[in-house]
Amino acid sequence: MSPWTSFTYKLAVMIDSPRFTFVAVLSALLIFPAMFAEARAEPAHGIAMHGAPLYPADFTHFSYADPDAPKGGDVRLAVTGTFDSTNPLVVRGASAAGIRSHVFESLMARALDEPFSLYGLIAETIETPADRSWVTFSIRPEAYFSDGTPITVEDVIFSLETLRDFGRPNHRSYYSKVAEIERIGTSAVKFTFIEDGDREMPLILGLMPIIPKHFYEGRDFEATGLELPLGSGPYVIEEVDAGASIVYRRDTNHWARDLAPNRGRHNFDSITYDYYRDATSSFEAFKKGLYDMRSEGDPTRWATGYEFAAVESGDVLIEEFATGLPSGMSAFVFNTRRQHLSDVRVRQALLQMFDFEWINKTLYYDLYVRTQSFYDNSELTSHGRVADDLELSLLAPFGGVVADDILDGSYTMPVSDGSGRNRSNARAAIAILKEAGFEVQDGVMVHVDSGEPLALELIVQSTEQERLGLQYARTLERIGVNLNIRQVDSTQMQQRRQTYDYDMLPYKWFASLSPGNEQSFYWGTEGRDIEGTRNYMGTSEPAIDAMIGHLLAAVDRPEFASAVRALDRVLLSGVYVIPLFHKPTLWTARWNYLAHPEIQSLYGHQLDTWWYQANQ
């Protein structure tokens, strides 16, 4: 956003605000010259997506890393499945775990105790103007690949061009937004972007993995195989057993080991990933001490499986870690392209019949919490929060789109008595469907005018999804709605999802503290009729498009958060999904010779800050 655009936008918000005064506008006019002064780009040690980064230029370490953590020891981890590639930067093949984070470094390092901030790593400084139409990185003279070759501007340019042409789809998409590359002296490179107003681009390039030109030039970058890669990261690959295990050895001469973003991190001498056929065999291996730390995702196993001898003796420690990240939206998704589901009242009635309390108690040991928002569990959620003045201004042109109880923060998902009968909710659902032209005839919910039964299909892929769907279907039977559960294989699911060939399906949209362009891909109008987007709901709502535009244009964090919460309110009001549930914490188990810092990141535990604790 240019200074003039930013100024006029803020001025318009002031005028629309109920707190508008001419004094406020006069103040804005007086500070306008300062906004142009801020537009001058200066080299900086870090960058934040909104506002200023948390840490000053002379910071010594991230808050969630212990700079005094001891080095040494070995750690073994488990992965389910197999691998056939050591290149994590291309689509082909299944890459071995850990290569991207252990072997390849980026221009900048992300701080995990901030929403979206980066600090210099390979790049010593970053320079970008207020409108972020270009970015310049200055490369550290001490930056080296693990074979001792210096990292140069040519390596940075080669990385962008290679990943843009042969990398993963996200790399190809983002890096194609670079319109011009300019070498500045011998140690700096400037990237100028196409004019699409994407304010994330300097940060996206800051996270670009840097690969050595002298190693990869002339090779088939997209080829799969087990050739050992060359990077500049804290570890090198020591051993590969195809499909079974991969071992990393810490590079004791790692060029960046003493930089602030790395202090207290990368503490183990070696990291081994062992592959297991399935979750059951992996869990049994953990109980025997064959690997050292486990993240648990199965509520049944978490509730009943961790009662073995090593836990009772204290050799295995059970912990839950809180996070500050949005929970994401795991949901049964309505395809509003279908006739019956195009009526929001039908969707409201179907939402009313999802009995979370009964399902959580009978299937999941009451371990889950109901998801109330598309950005639940974070500052970006609208749940339980009254819309602020900026939100009201953004939503003002779209009167009636947001429900009153969602606007004032009092709305919550339907709650049952947990008995499994859900009678009051059933009465409410029947009343809503009556407004939509349906009634129960001979035990079947039918449309009064057409006589057509309200019958839907939920496609699922896993046994767990099928079990959940069957519980919901039994509840709908009580009001005469037929929900057929159809299990399909992964190929069929992918095909039907891409072509929007379904009534309902389960899906999870992951969320970050800095949602950006992907929001258009998720819910933007343009994706409704284009196959292959993640607009699985089929939304086509001008208010959604407008709120996405506002969050993408936001300059400071409060402005951004208000725009995201406004978007959240519009999505919730549309009843496009049946929100399911999420874990309130991260469930973990570790053998007691592993230790970790007291302070955790917004993302919960970070294994690269842990260390081996001797004499345990």
Q: For residue 490, how many other CB atoms are within 10 A of its CB? A: 9
Q: Is 22 helix (H, G, I), strand (E, B) or coil?
A: helix
Q: Is 487 helix (H, G, I), strand (E, B) or coil?
A: strand
pLDDT tens for each residue of 372-399: 999 999 999 999 999 999 999 999 999 9
CA distance 194 to 94: 33
The separation between CA 415 and the C-alpha centre of its own chain, rounded to angstroms, equals 28
In the numeric block, the tokens 């050591």 are attached to 86
CA distance 615 to 339: 66
Helices (H), 436-498: 463-477, 490-498
Q: Is 456 helix (H, G, I), strand (E, B) or coil?
A: strand
Answer for the pair 89, 209: CB distance below 8 angstroms, yes or no.
Answer: yes
| DSSP tag of 96 | P
SS3 for 279-294 is: HHHHHHHHHCCCCCEE
pLDDT for 37: 37
Answer for the pair 211, 158: CB distance below 8 angstroms, yes or no.
Answer: yes
Nearest-5° angle of CA 596, CA 582, CA 318?
30
Q: Is 509 helix (H, G, I), strand (E, B) or coil?
A: strand
Q: For residue 81, how many other CB atoms are within 10 A of its CB? A: 11
pTM (global) more than 0.85: yes
SS3 for 244-273 is: CEEEEEECCCCCCCCCHHHCCCCCCCEEEE
Q: Is 227 helix (H, G, I), strand (E, B) or coil?
A: coil
What's the token pair of residue 350? 């179907």
Answer for the pair 582, 328: CB distance below 8 angstroms, yes or no.
Answer: yes
Q: Between β-strands 316-321 and 586-591, what pairing exists: parallel, antiparallel or unpaired?
A: antiparallel
The set of long-range contacts for 163-168, using a CB threshold of 8 Å and a minimum separation of 24, is 163/89, 163/208, 163/209, 163/211, 166/90, 166/221, 166/222, 167/89, 167/90, 167/221, 168/89, 168/90, 168/91
pLDDT for 532: 84
Which among 502, 504, 352 has a CA at the least distance from the CA of 434?
A: 352
Terminal alpha carbon distance of the chain? 55
Please enumerate in sequence order all residues whose Cβ is within 8 A of that of 280, keeping only pairs 6 or more positions apart, or say none: none
pLDDT tens for each residue of 87-107: 999 989 999 999 999 999 999
Q: Is 518 helix (H, G, I), strand (E, B) or coil?
A: helix
594 phi and psi, to 5 degrees?
-100, 140
Positions in the chain short of pLDDT 50: 1-39
The overall longest dimension of the chain from CA atoms, in Å, is 81
